[in-house]
Amino acid sequence: MAQMWNSFDTGGHLAITAQTIEFPAGGGDRVHAYLARPDDERRRPAVLALHHMPGWDEFYQELCERLARHGYAAMCPDLYCRFGHGRPDDVTAKVRAEGGVRDDSVVADSAAALEWLKSQPWCSGRVAAMGTCSGGRHALLVGSLVAGFSAVLDLWGGNVVMGADQLTPARPVAPIDYTDRLDIPLLGLFGNDDKSPSPEQVDLHEEALKKNGRDYEFHRYDGAGHGFFYYHTPMYRPEQAMDGWEKVFEFLARTLGGS
Amino acid sequence: MCTAISRSDPLSGAGRGPAEWFQVTRSTVAFDHATHLPQEHAVLIDFSNYGIGLDARIAVELDVGSARVLLAQLQEALDRAEALEQLDYG
């Protein structure tokens, strides 16, 4: 059993607070975010959680709450906020119809969220960018382009490696091409049965990281494909997911300091 | 989008939502993460009218084989309709 699971003292007092907030995002727009953090005044490291393509959804609310129970402030901005509000799947359908959220929009919102987090009295100032699926790709982009983050966690982010025919005005540069600008530690978790990113694409990414002398650790899981943390889908792989969460918490402890 | 397989176009039609019929102004077809079907990816078909609201959407998720059946049905219906009515789309 992973050490992160049931590692708390039953005699201790656990309290977190979690709610939807608004913060000044890119361009000064008021954007929603889900914020979960320990309910005390200690200064904590933080995680900026960048949600996946299926949207700003319940999985990400629970991901933030899990991080908070383990001592981190976790903030998940609604990257689709400007597209309107409704059920997450309806919002995501509109985002898809309009060609997807723009990379520069995500980068601007993430930079603003980082600034907001660092201004909070309960934030230690050390912040990681973390995401799954398209959020993993976004975390990598943000960690490469926005100064001030301390670590990046890319969980099965697809389209890190992109062919010229995949580049669009919304996604004009493949994140792998920013590897020379990634000067903070990177954790990558991948399923070997995934098609996006495929093991071959993960190989290419790893080659680029090595070539640039980057601080990274990749963990690749047999018997898992895309989204193996997603307990609400058939993609869930409990053994690989629990080991993956262990890697996440070890990495956060190493790069952000004690929570 | 994770697969980047998606295309959206304006069109003209009407669709029946849970409450009422509404004018459909756009269709989007993608192959990407399924919301409801118990599989990683599905052919996602949306008929929408975002001028009315985000929920003015008729959504269907199909496995690839079923989408092929639908495509064949559409093709056959269109072929027969054009032969019948001698429609000129020129």
CATH number of A18-256: 3.40.50.2300, 3.30.230.10, 3.40.50.1820, 3.40.50.720?
A: 3.40.50.1820
Joined together, the tokens standing for residue A156 give 């099965």
> What is the pLDDT at residue B89?
60
CA distance A120 to chain B (A): 32
Joined together, the tokens standing for residue A87 give 């059920």
> What is the pLDDT at residue A149?
98
Joined together, the tokens standing for residue B58 give 């008729």
Give the domain range for residue B56. 5-85
Over residues A80-123, the pLDDT tens digits come to 999 999 999 999 999 999 999 999 999 999 999 999 999 999 99
**CA A101, A90, A18: angle at the middle one, nearest 5?**
80
Q: Answer for the pair A178, A144: CB distance below 8 angstroms, yes or no.
A: yes
Q: What is the pTM of this model?
A: 0.93
Nearest to B47 by CA among B75, B8, B88: B8
Over residues A160-187, the pLDDT tens digits come to 999 999 999 999 999 999 999 999 999 9
Does residue B90 lie within any of the structural domains?
no
Residues of A with Cβ-Cβ distance to B28 under 8 angstroms: 93, 96-97
The residues in B 8-47 lying below 8 A from A, measured between CB atoms, are 8, 26, 28, 30, 32-33, 35, 38-40, 44, 46
Does residue B64 lie within any of the structural domains?
yes
What pLDDT band is residue A4 in, cutting at 50, 70 and 90? confident
Does residue B54 lie within any of the structural domains?
yes
Residues for chain A: how many in total?
A: 259
Does residue B52 lie within any of the structural domains?
yes
Provide mean pLDDT across the span B71-76. 98
The span from the CA of A203 to the CA of A207, in Å, is: 6
What pLDDT band is residue A189 in, cutting at 50, 70 and 90? very high
What pLDDT band is residue A195 in, cutting at 50, 70 and 90? very high
**Secondary element (H or E) of residue B24:** strand B21-33
Residues of B with Cβ-Cβ distance to A133 under 8 angstroms: 2, 33
> What is the pLDDT at residue A8?
87
ipTM of the complex: 0.86
Number of domains in chain B: 1
The span from the CA of A106 to the CA of A127, in Å, is: 16
What pLDDT band is residue B88 in, cutting at 50, 70 and 90? low
The residues spanned by each domain of chain A are 18-256
- Pick the residue of A81, A83, A89, A230 with the most B CBs within 10 A to test the interface with B by mutation: A89
Does residue B42 lie within any of the structural domains?
yes
Does residue B39 lie within any of the structural domains?
yes
Amino acid (1-letter code) at residue A220? R
In this complex, which of A91, A166, A226 lies closest to B54 when CB atoms are compared?
A91
Enumerate residues 6+ apart whose C-beta is below 8 A from B78: none
Provide mean pLDDT across the span A22-39. 97
